[in-house]
Structures are given as structure tokens and as C-alpha cells.
Amino acid sequence: MRVLVLGSGGREHALAWKLSQSPSLTALFVAPGNPGTEAIAPSLAVEPTKPADVVALAKLHHIELVVVGPEAPLVAGVGDALRAAGIPVFGPDAAAARIEGSKAFAKEIMLAAGVPTAGAHVFTDLEAAARHAAAGGPIVVKADGLAAGKGVVVADSGAEAAEAVRALGKLPAGQTVLLEERLSGPELSVMALCDGERAVLLPPSQDHKRLLDGDRGPNTGGMGAYAPARLLTDAQLEQIRREVMLPTLKELARRGTPFRGALYAGLMLTPSGPKVLEFNARLGDPETQVLMMQTADDLLPLLHGAALGALPERPLKVHDGYSVGIVLAAQGYPDAPKSGAIISGLEATGDALVFHAGTKRDARGSVIVSGGRVLTVCARGATVKLAQAKALEAASAITFEGRQLRRDIGHGAPAA
């Protein structure tokens, strides 16, 4: 099968790495790709958010499956355009991707599907929202739309919440806001490969959103992840599949917008059970990097089956032990990442894997920093600690000016 992976981050590098091992693969391309994916598959130039361009590229290369990594192409309608052209695609149509693009829509789906989530009021009148917030206590204020990680404020008081409403109201994404019941508990990500009706779970994982060790510092796109995060039993995970994933798929299908792709549930394990904080319409980054390392199954038939609406409904085959992925971020990340530093030590990594994201080649062919999250260094081990030590050792060998990394990825893992 001829496959095109759309995107240029660590998630897409990991997907390409895993797909490249599939016996049924005959050709693999990544568009636009990065210096890391180039070692696996040719890069094709494309603007991933231009549906007509992606369709033309897929036709030119006789692609039989497109795997869409990031959300922006999905929201832009790349899934719709490929399906309309008869090209199977792993990734939902724009209407279904709204489950990520609009928190009010996600809440509406969850309520209709009976999925456990925080109670919320949706406001389009921001003055009314501010008044409502000011009159209450601790609450979570969320911008409806995509706000690059800046759309959620966990407020400790009514005054702080009202202030957050006004601040979010300055963003295009914040013209509708949600005032949400504030929950507490550990967080966990559960992703499923979905074919519109059926769902196959990937191992549960935990991301580490803050820049610094001990979950301090500013929010980022994610500084590292590990899997499996055994905060739930297998029976509880099956319950998540049946009581979160399947009803959500059913509700989307009932509305005529079946979801074919990766459904990502951000969960909080509250004293009254797991509740969904958010959905994403794609795989997580950096979670995918460790999930691909943990997956023993042939990924290609699963993604193709999901794209065609014919996913085999059986548990995913996974490796024993754990995978830890540590992000190496650029100097100044997340506020003002600095590009241009030469990266050294990429060659010698032992059996760790290094997935590229914000990298490019300069005129001399050296790999340099070109984005905020630069690399994800991943390793497997019998325990989270062993995997972390291996990943750290490999990460230490890779250097560039101002490199930032966390040394505590996996700290939330339950003691073995």
C-alpha cells in the first residue's frame, strides 16, 4: 500500500517510523516532513492546510491512504476533500473535527452521548459570562475555539474567573466562552483509533505540559510523555472505551458526521470517576512518539481499516514495559523560541529513538533548530524509571545552544 503521512512534527515522524515497518507497505511519503522523516521516507512539499493541494499531491503519487497528523488540516477540510476524491484518509471530516475545534460543540456532544464530563454553561454574551463568573467561586473558564494552549484558565475565585472571561474575550477563539465546574484529580490521555463506529484503544499515557521539572513554569505543547500510564485498570479502560469513545462515535454518526481517525480524550480521574476534560480529533504530540514505541501491532491495517470504516475490533497488541519520551526544546521556548542553533550528537543514540520536529537542514547540510519543540528522545525499559534513565542518557548526548529538557518525565506513574 502507498501511504502519505501529512505533517512535519515528532508525531508524524513516529507514525512514519512505525508505518515503515509494515509488511503491506509499498511506498511511504511524508509531506512536508522534516530531516528526521527524510531518513525513512521522501519528503513532499505541500501546504498541509490546503485541501486541493493535498488531494493533487495524493493523486500524483497514487496514494492509497493518507494519515493526517495535526488538527489544522482536519479543521481546514483536508479529510473531506480526500474522501470526496475517493482517497482513504485516517482523520475526520471538518464537521467531526469540531469536537476539538469548539469546546461548546464538544460539550454538546458529550451531554447528548451521556459521556461523564464537567458541568458547564456556554455564553456568547461575555458581559453575562463575567457577571455569572464574578458571582461564583473557583471555576474553569474556557475559550470555545482553538487558542494554542492559551484558552483555558483555572480560576481560584469569582473575581479571577471574571477577569479571565475579559482576557479570553480579546481572542478570536474567546467570543464564546464556557464556565466549567472545576474538577480535581490526576490527568490521563486515552486515544482510540476509530472507524466511525468502532474504537481500538491505544495504551493510556500522560503528557507533561509545564516547561520545568515538578510541573512548574509556563504551559507548553508538551515536554514529554510516557506510556502506559497505569492509573486505571484494564477493566476501567474498557469502560472508557464503552462509555466515552463508543457513545461519542455514535452521537457523531447520528448527526451525519462519522468520526474516522484518532479520538483523543483528555481525562481527569476525579473522586467520582473519570471525566472528560477535552477531546482532540487527532493523536497527541508527544504522546504518539511513545505510543508508537509501545505498539507491537502492524499499524497500517488498523489505520487503513479505520479510514474505510472496517476497523477490526480487538485489543491492540503492545510491547511489555514502558516507553518514555523526552522533548528537547529550543532556547526561549515556549515564549520566544530561538532558531538556528546547530544540533550535534544526533548519530549516536544506542537503541533510543530520536524523533524530529522543529529541525531543518542549513545550506551546509547541518541539522539546526527551527522550532520550539525540536526533538523527542524515546526509550523503552522494563519500568518507567529504567525507560526514563535510558531516554535521559540518549538525550544528554544531543546538544545545541540553550537546549531545554525535563528530567522527571514519568514522575506521575504509580509506584510499581
Instruction: Name the binder of 96 from ligand GLY, ligand AMP, none, CB < 5-8 A by kind.
Output: none
Choices 20-28, 182-190, 240-248, 332-340; region in contact with ligand AMP by CB under 6 A: 182-190
81/265 with CB nearer ligand GLY: 265
Instruction: Name the binder of 280 from ligand AMP, ligand GLY, none, CB < 5-8 A by kind.
Output: ligand GLY
Cα 260 to Cα 192: distance, rounded to the nearest angstrom: 10
Rule CB under 6 A: is residue 5 a binding residue for ligand AMP? Answer: no
313-332 residues in contact with ligand AMP (CB under 6 A) are none
Give min distance, CB of 204 to ligand AMP, in A: 15
94/143 with CB nearer ligand AMP: 143
88/222 with CB nearer ligand GLY: 222
Q: Which of 64, 160, 163, 187 binds ligand AMP (CB under 6 A)?
A: 187
Rule CB under 6 A: is residue 182 a binding residue for ligand AMP? Answer: yes
Instruction: Name the binder of 278 from ligand AMP, ligand GLY, none, CB < 5-8 A by kind.
Output: ligand AMP
Choices 42-50, 65-73, 180-188, 250-258; region in contact with ligand AMP by CB under 6 A: 180-188
Rule CB under 6 A: is residue 368 a binding residue for ligand AMP? Answer: no
Give min distance, CB of 316 to ligand GLY, in A: 19
Which of helix, strand or coil describes residue 155?
Answer: strand
What is the helix (H) or strand (E) element at residue 120, kind and residue range?
strand 120-123
Which residues partner with 227 through β-bridges?
323
Cell of 188: 490521563
Angle at 120 between CA 173 and CA 141, to 5 degrees: 45
Instruction: Name the binder of 203 from ligand AMP, ligand GLY, none, CB < 5-8 A by kind.
Output: none
80/207 with CB nearer ligand GLY: 207
Our measurement of the distance from residue 299's CA atom to the centroid of its chain's CA atoms, rounded to an integer in Å, reads 17
Strand order in the sheet with 322-329: 206-207, 224-227, 322-329, 373-381, 353-356
Residue whose Cβ sits closest to ligand AMP: 278
Q: Which of 74, 140, 202, 330 binds ligand AMP (CB under 6 A)?
A: 140
In sequence order, the 6+-apart residues with CB closer than 8 A to the CB of 360 are 34, 35, 367, 368, 370
Give min distance, CB of 311 to ligand GLY, in A: 22
In sequence order, the 6+-apart residues with CB closer than 8 A to the CB of 263 are 99, 191, 192, 194, 199, 245, 248, 249, 279, 280, 281
Give min distance, CB of 47 to ligand AMP, in A: 27
Which residues partner with 359 through β-bridges?
369
- The identity of residue 288, as a single letter, is T
Instruction: Name the binder of 284 from ligand AMP, ligand GLY, none, CB < 5-8 A by kind.
Output: ligand GLY
Q: What are phi and psi of 75, to 5 degrees?
A: -65, -30
Instruction: Name the binder of 145 from ligand AMP, ligand GLY, none, CB < 5-8 A by kind.
Output: none
- The identity of residue 151, as a single letter, is G
22/34 with CB nearer ligand GLY: 34
Cell of 2: 502507498
Give min distance, CB of 276 to ligand AMP, in A: 9
Cα 183 to Cα 77: distance, rounded to the nearest angstrom: 34
Q: Hey, how many other C-beta atoms are within 10 angstroms of the C-beta on 215?
A: 14
Q: Which of 152, 231, 263, 379 binds ligand AMP (CB under 6 A)?
A: 152
93/180 with CB nearer ligand AMP: 180
Where on the chain is the footprint of ligand GLY (CB under 6 A)?
A: 207, 222, 280, 284-285, 287
Are the CB atoms for 53 and 77 separated by under 8 Å? no
Instruction: Name the binder of 222 from ligand GLY, ligand AMP, none, CB < 5-8 A by kind.
Output: ligand GLY
181/401 with CB nearer ligand AMP: 181
> What are the start-end ranges of the E strands in 220-346?
224-227, 260-270, 273-280, 322-329
* Nearest of 321, 229, 232 to residue 284 by alpha carbon: 229
Which of helix, strand or coil describes residue 78?
Answer: helix
Are the CB atoms for 176 and 239 separated by under 8 Å? no
Cα 312 to Cα 326: distance, rounded to the nearest angstrom: 32
Q: Going residue by residue from 264 to 283, which x/- string records binding to ligand AMP, judged by CB under 6 A?
A: --x----------xx-----
What is the biggest distance separating any 2 CA atoms in the chain, rounded to whole angstroms?
Answer: 61
What are the residues binding ligand AMP (CB under 6 A)? 118, 140, 142, 152, 154, 180-183, 187, 266, 277-278
